Homo-oligomer: A and B are copies of this chain.
């Protein structure tokens, strides 16, 4: 089957680009001397996780327990659950998972550590813990330095769990204005965790893993001496946010939503059949001209997905009027390929991902870990 025969909207990955993205990150890990533990919440597809492992990744990272279950069921034996596990249901599921695979968990509180320790003792399993540090994202994670030292000193008294490392995720780097700012965020991401590790070890607790995240920053933070592991996710596909922050080029963006023009109600407006149910409602302001809900592939930014509702993408020309692609007016039935702003959010909306090589459909993968919110 050819890509041109697929009914739209459809989520497509360019396989040569994806394979190159996987290879380059593996090469970077070897060159920088850090382990690569890809965050598979980006794709949610075991087959792609296995490709990453085949390239040399030491394990995978997941955002939710339900994703961990899908990956362990697919034969993956080393999983970092990068999320605080709270509540009896989840602790029970985690204990069962720990009998089948090596499971480590991220957390930032004594409460969560105590729940894990109690569960580990009750079920005769053991959890490795990584304490999360806030390197500027202002989400989970304690401030670097003393707050983390104090927490680690309390956790080490618990049995059933072992603090093996520290982690952080500088996800805010995709909001950087220029590559220099992104690099500065990456340097701080590595530095603040390494500095905290030094404090903890001075207090007598050995820390063997220093793990940093974010596709936009790992090429900087992964080179900071003392960092042992990187957890990039988006790099496998890349997206418009990675592109505008200079973490990839347009030709490294492997993921697109292929859409069809279904309405042409005004000269300055075309409606495609891909809206927020295909692209997500993640808005991105790339610069003063390019804002919207996705990048129109090959447009050089001249066209944009200016607005979305659930089933409608409103395509407009970034400047000027009327709307045309090069010299070609856009007509009902024309196809438009859109690079999502944020690949991870887009994948969660789709039941299948279609893999294409040179216009030929080579694979159709179910997005097995889609919608695993628990």
Are B278 and A281 closer than 8 Å at their CB atoms?
no
A108: min CB distance to chain B, Å: 5
Of A27-35, A243-251, A266-274, the segment with at least 4 beta carbons within 8 Å of chain B is: A266-274
Q: Roughly how many angstroms separate A311 CA and B89 CA in the complex, as a whole number? A: 18
Q: Roughly how many angstroms separate A269 CA and B140 CA in the complex, as a whole number? A: 9
Given A112-B332, A373-B274, is A140 in contact with B265 using a C-beta cutoff of 8 Å?
yes
Q: Roughly how many angstroms separate A369 CA and B349 CA in the complex, as a whole number? A: 13
| Cβ-neighbour of A262 out of B89, B112, B274 (below 8 A) | B112
Q: Roughly how many angstroms separate A312 CA and B171 CA in the complex, as a whole number? A: 13
Number of interface residues of A (CB under 8 A): 61
Are A333 and B64 closer than 8 Å at their CB atoms?
no
Are B63 and A262 closer than 8 Å at their CB atoms?
no
- Is the CB of A280 closer than 8 A to any CB of chain B? yes
Are B7 and A348 closer than 8 Å at their CB atoms?
no
For A278, list chain B residues within 8 Å (CB).
Answer: 373
Chain multiplicity (copies): 2
- Is the CB of A374 closer than 8 A to any CB of chain B? yes
Of A68-76, A79-87, A116-124, A198-206, the segment with at least 4 beta carbons within 8 Å of chain B is: A79-87
Are A262 and B332 closer than 8 Å at their CB atoms?
no
For A355, list chain B residues within 8 Å (CB).
Answer: none
- Is the CB of A371 closer than 8 A to any CB of chain B? yes
Residues 273-317 of chain A: 1 if any B CB is under 8 Å from the residue's CB, otherwise 0?
Answer: 110111011110000000000000000000000010111101000
Top 4 A-B pairs ranked by shortest CB distance? A7-B89, A84-B262, A140-B263, A111-B332
In the complex, given contacts A141-B263, A283-B283, A349-B349, what are 11 additional A-B residue pairs having Cβ atoms less than 8 angstroms apart?
A83-B311, A84-B263, A84-B332, A109-B263, A139-B314, A140-B271, A141-B265, A143-B265, A310-B344, A310-B345, A349-B371
